[in-house]
Amino acid sequence: MRVLLRFVSTARRIQRDMSQSALPRISFLGMGLMGRAMARRLLEARFPVTVWNRTLAAATPLAAEGATVVAEAAEAVRGCDVLCTMLFDDAAYEQTVMGGALDALGAGALHVACGTISVRLSERLTVEHARRGQQYVAAPVFGRPNVAAEGRLWIVAAGEAAAVERARPVLAAMSRGLSIAGSEPAQAHAVKLAGNFMINLMIEAMSEAVVFAEARGIDAATMLETVNAALFQSPFYAAYARLLLNRPDPPGATLGLGLKDVTLFLDAAESAGVRPEVARVVAERLRAAAEAGLGSADWAAGMLTAAREAAKTGWERKA
């Protein structure tokens, strides 16, 4: 609690100090549900923000809220002080950032990479930014779009100390707390992948427990509430239990994203010389569910559907 209170106090001081001087010009690439919510927090904090999205229609609503909307990523990046990216996956970063935005970013500018990407790509970005005389901070976020809209994301950052301090006012405007993972940017993305792996395990455990409870004639909501009250006492556990049993529309995160992240976790683990066997089992379950048509389903509700189907037919072992 003391850490969180210190962060809130620091964030307020930063915002006060920043209001007394010129605010950095921010370019934000990626206006999906998360990116739009995060960009809105920056606009509310009075940062000058230019936004871009591959599908322009997703970005245009922010014009009415004070953002400058442009049609090309390189145009958005040119002349900015801080580039924030919240793109879907490695391929999107390759196409957008490596494919032109990086060259348009000026020497001395700062890139804050908020998306969930591979450790390998984060390491490449470190090299490419250094070669261009730019700063780079990895700052992936924990939280769904509704959490981002409320400014309650938790951000894990890593990079050179001066770059992290430069990024701090921007990160403070979008979050309730910040953890520093280390001086190498890829360390932050490694923490994010580990965290998402743990979420996958939590959802899988709850899903199979629900299937068990239902088979015994027990109300699933009562079972999950009882276990959380007795053992975990976790708002996060309670929130995912609600998502599990009440399928959100639209999904805040999809089962396909869960598969992407556990695959990246396994790749990063292999490159570090470790073999997390449970992660392989979870990846197989998610892959079978995606192949059965659940890839676009909500992450939690989709995994419950997969657990129910597997309990009846064992289809994930046949995939």
Give the pLDDT mean for 251-269.
Answer: 95
pLDDT above 90: residue 123:
yes
- Check whether residue 8 and residue 56 sit in a common domain: yes
Give the pLDDT mean for 34-54.
Answer: 98
Catalytic residues: 192
Q: Supply the mean pLDDT for the chain.
A: 92
CATH of the domain at 291: 1.10.1040.10
Question: pTM score, two decimals?
Answer: 0.89
Lowest mean pLDDT among 209-223, 237-251, 259-273: 237-251
- Check whether residue 128 and residue 200 sit in a common domain: no
> What is the chain's Cα-based Rg?
20
Share of the chain above pLDDT 90, in %: 88
C-alpha–C-alpha distance, residues 286 and 65, integer Å: 39
Give the pLDDT mean for 101-124.
Answer: 98
- Check whether residue 216 and residue 67 sit in a common domain: no
Q: pLDDT, tens digit, for every residue of 126-140?
A: 999 999 999 999 999
- Check whether residue 109 and residue 23 sit in a common domain: yes
**What is the pLDDT, as a whole number, of residue 313?**
74
**Which tokens hold the place of 288?**
């079978």
- How many domains are contained in the chain? 2
Q: Phi-psi category of 314—alpha, beta or left, where left has phi over 0 and alpha has psi -120 to 50? A: left
Give the pLDDT mean for 226-254.
Answer: 94
Give the pLDDT mean for 289-304.
Answer: 96
Domain of 172 in residue numbering reads as 2-183
- Check whether residue 26 and residue 116 sit in a common domain: yes
CATH of the domain at 26: 3.40.50.720
- Check whether residue 304 and residue 224 sit in a common domain: yes
**What is the pLDDT, as a whole number, of residue 268?**
97
- Check whether residue 18 and residue 151 sit in a common domain: yes
Helices (H), the chain: 2-19, 33-44, 73-77, 90-93, 102-104, 119-131, 145-149, 161-174, 185-215, 220-227, 235-245, 255-271, 277-289, 299-313, 315-318
- Check whether residue 29 and residue 157 sit in a common domain: yes
- Check whether residue 224 and residue 172 sit in a common domain: no
**What is the pLDDT, as a whole number, of residue 163?**
98
- Check whether residue 47 and residue 176 sit in a common domain: yes
**What is the pLDDT, as a whole number, of residue 17?**
52
- Check whether residue 8 and residue 147 sit in a common domain: yes
Task: From 122, 149, 183, give the residue that closes a domain.
Answer: 183
**What is the pLDDT, as a whole number, of residue 5?**
38
- Check whether residue 250 and residue 169 sit in a common domain: no
